[in-house]
Structure 1
Amino acid sequence: MPTSAIDGKDTAAIQTAREGVVVCDRSEWGIIRVADDDRLRFLHNQSTNDFQRLKPGEGCDTVMVTSTARTIDLVTGYVLDDAVFLLVSPGRRHFLLQWLDRYIFFTDKVQLTDITEDTGTFSLIGPGSDAMIEKLGAGSLIGQPYGSHILVDGLRVAVGSGLALPGYTLIFPIAQKQKIWEQILEYGGLELSDRGWEMLRILQGRPAPDLELTDDYNPLEVGLWQTVSFNKGCYIGQETIARLNTYKGVKQYLWGIRLNAPVEPETIITIGDEKVGKLTSYTETPDGHFGLGYIRSKAGGVGLKVQVGETAGEVVSIPFVSHEYP
């Protein structure tokens, strides 16, 4: 269903995310701990990115895909000294635990643990987040590559907000949650509600399971090229992705669509009488109506005028995704 009309708090938070710093509670997202000797090799073989190049203190985004390269979830992995933390989408952790467990063979030294209930996760979003993490004692991360992380008094601070906006992700024992939240608000962070996050997610173009990440789409169509290693060798779905890249076979892409009115997700996108795609997400924003949708590559890109159901729309770029290898 389309998101209901936004309120003043959401409007203020969206503005602050662009100019200052907001904090979003992402503790409903899942955290899976992957441990034992074969953890990096195992994750390397089960997802699109190159885990075996990562050292403790580093991290990356990766996509879990089916054997035919259909998308399951966009996951962030943080490599620790003795484990890897996987930050997975809300409502996805039980499925992913079972899915990953199916690929652990008798000789594999891999242990999977769901630590979501024992863990809190916040994201600091916006250009003011550098000053915030300095106050939290993690200033050494400023300027470090995406996914870099350090532990400060039990608080793990990682580079990356979860969106294409500057920021950091904080992971900590659940017992510290209230204290850290109050500290961030005291330092000047403004709360971003779940609805505010969803609005930003759509404006930024971060794909979500069951909407943009489904059995209908592969990571290259989604625009998650930065999560794919084309050099690492065999992994689940690798043959399909390599073939799509080699033969330029990406038939549709995820785009932003500026809309004239609210539209239900799943609405067909057309140009004249021709069906060219489908809307996957919609939100009202401080600047009007906005959606995400897949559009056939031959139809065009930025600036394309489309009909989404009965509503006029214009295709625009979204910063979280790209349509070629970076």
Structure 2
Amino acid sequence: MPTSAIDGKDIAAIQAATEEVAICDRSLWGRIRVSDDDRIRFLHNQSTNDFQSLKPGQGCDTVMVTSTARTIDLVTAYVLDDAVLLLVSPNRCEFLMQWLDRYIFFADKVKLTDITSETATFSLIGPKSDVVIEKLGAKAIIGQPYGNHLLVKEEIIVAVGSGLASAGYTLILPASEKQQVWNQILELGAVELSDRAWNTLRVLQGRPVPDLELTDDYNPLEAGLWQTISFTKGCYIGQETIARLNTYKGVKQHLWGIRLNAPAEVGSAIAVGDEKVGKLTSYTETADGYFGLGYVRSKAGGVGLKVQIGETEGEIVEIPFVSHDYPD
């Protein structure tokens, strides 16, 4: 993920994503089509959310985890009439194809297809996304729950959710339509948001990503991804560990935002006084200063806690993408 200082164009795009509407090309993200008769049961058993409660036209975020509930990827799933489409992180598609394939047994009717190269993905981000969506012919999706989606022109999926905490939509379309739809959205007033600006926004909002916040060192509860987890659906890979952590309130560290007074290096220890209490996992520079993400031990404190990262001072702040509350 890029972390260098943002330029004026990025600043303007982030402002558009905050106040108006921006568009980001997320075509580097992987797309896996899961089809055949057992597709829903299979995904229900392989990840944290409740697929069996979803109907075609609905969707959800879910986490792929190891048998010990360590995070592999945060995935967005869209349930179609004849398949489930998974939107996965840029560096995770091949790994997840192989990982999921290991759990398809002889009698299972499940087919995995990597459709990344033949499709494209855009995200519309910002409070004025509705205006663009309406002009694209997808007015019926406005106001619907996260993950709900519909087809425009029989080939463009328009889904609620920008991939960030910001309001917006995600479009998945044939690669052959990419340039035409991109140009159309720019003509409708959306401002182009670069990968670097996207990364700045995702750090500010706290969306965890593989290799940084989502690794073998952390579970989905520590990452604050409560909204992706069903505690009532029964068995799935990693379920026992997650259920135990929830039941006994055993989450020992949380992902937080950290407002910094100077640059800091990813991987650095987070300390309170002489005591190490966590690790900085992401860092970005913004128009307003410096900002990071990091895991901090629960006992050390939360919002308002003053921390030290090398010579840099910081303060723990809320990030909108994650939650730290145990469900009732």
TM-score interval w.r.t. the shorter chain?
over 0.9
Q: 2:294 & 2:21 partners in 1: Cα distance?
A: 29
Q: Which amino acid aligns with 2:258?
A: I
* Cα drift, residue 2 of structure 1: 7.6
Question: What do residues 105-125 of structure 1 show as CA deviations (whole Å, max 9, x unaligned)?
Answer: 000000000000000000000
What is the deviation of 1:3?
A: 2.2
Equivalence for 1:145: 145
- Provide the residue aligned with 1:177 in structure 2: 178
1:35/1:83 contact within 8 Å kept: yes
- The amino acid of 1:286's aligned partner reads A
CA deviation string 1:198-222 (max 9, x = no partner):
0001000000000000000000000
Q: Which amino acid aligns with 1:159?
A: V
**2:4 pairs with 1:10:** no
Counterpart for residue 83 of structure 1? 83
Aligned in 2, Cα 1:113/1:2: closer, same or farther, shift over 3 Å?
A: closer
Query: Which residue does 2:103 correspond to in 1?
Result: 103
The equivalent residue for 2:113 is 113
Distance 1:12 1:272, change over 3 A: same
Q: Matches of 2:195 and 2:222 in 1, distance apart? A: 27
Aligned AA (2:210)? P
Cα distance in structure 2, aligned partners of 1:296 and 1:239:
22
Deviations 1:67-86 (A, max 9, x none): 00000000000000000000
Q: Provide TM-score, normalisation by structure 2.
A: 0.98
Distance in structure 1 (CA, Å) of the matches to 2:150 and 2:226: 26
Contact in 1 for aligned 2:73/2:214 (Cα 8 Å): yes
- Between the two proteins, what is the percent identity of the paired residues? 78
1:112-261 equivalent positions in 2, closer than 5 A? 112-153=112-153, 154-261=155-262
Q: Name the counterpart of 2:35.
A: 35
Output the CA distance in 1 between the equivalents of 2:324 and 2:53: 24
What TM-score do the two structures reach when normalised by structure 1?
0.99
SS in 1 for 2:244: helix
Q: Which ranges in structure 1 are unaligned for 5 or more consecutive residues?
A: none
User: Does the CA contact (< 8 Å) of 1:2 and 1:264 recur in 2?
Assistant: no
Instruction: Tell me the equivalent position of 2:271.
Output: 270
Deviation of 1:6 after TM superposition, in Å, equals 1.4
Distance 1:230 1:286 in 2: 40
The 8 Å contact of residues 226 and 325 in structure 1, kept in 2 or not, is answered as: no
* Alpha-carbon contact 1:14-1:200 (below 8 Å) kept: yes
- What are the within-5 Å matches in structure 2 for residues 65-76 of structure 1? 65-76=65-76
Aligned position for 1:285: 286
Counterpart Cα distance in 2 of 1:296 and 1:176: 47
* Structure 2 letter corresponding to 1:224: L
Letter in 2 for 1:56: P
Runs of 5+ in structure 2 lacking a partner?
none
CA contact (8 A) 1:256 1:316 kept: yes
Deviations 1:41-86 (A, max 9, x none): 0000000000010000000000000000000000000000000000
Partners of 1:32 and 1:238 lie apart in 2 by: 23
In the other structure, the counterpart of 1:44 is 44
SS at match of 2:74: strand
- Note the C-alpha offset of 1:303: 0.4
Name the SS for the 2:117 alignment partner: helix
Q: Distance in 2 between matches of 1:25 and 1:213?
A: 22
In structure 1, distance between residues paired with 2:2 and 2:76 = 28
- CA-CA distance at 1:260 after TM superposition: 0.8
- Specify the alignment match of 2:94 in structure 1: 94
Matched residue of 1:245: which SS? Answer: helix
What is the SS of the residue equivalent to 1:147?
coil
* SS of corresponding position for 1:171: strand
Q: What displacement does 1:151 show?
A: 0.3
Between the aligned partners of 1:325 and 1:127, the Cα distance in structure 2 is: 29
Find the residue that maps to 1:219 and give its secondary structure: coil
Divergent runs of 4+, >3 A: none
SS of 1:33's equivalent?
Answer: strand
When the two chains are superposed, the root-mean-square deviation of aligned CA atoms in Å is: 0.9
| Aligned partners of 2:2 and 2:196 also within 8 Å | no
Q: Secondary structure at the match of 1:295?
A: strand
Q: CA deviation at 1:325?
A: 4.2
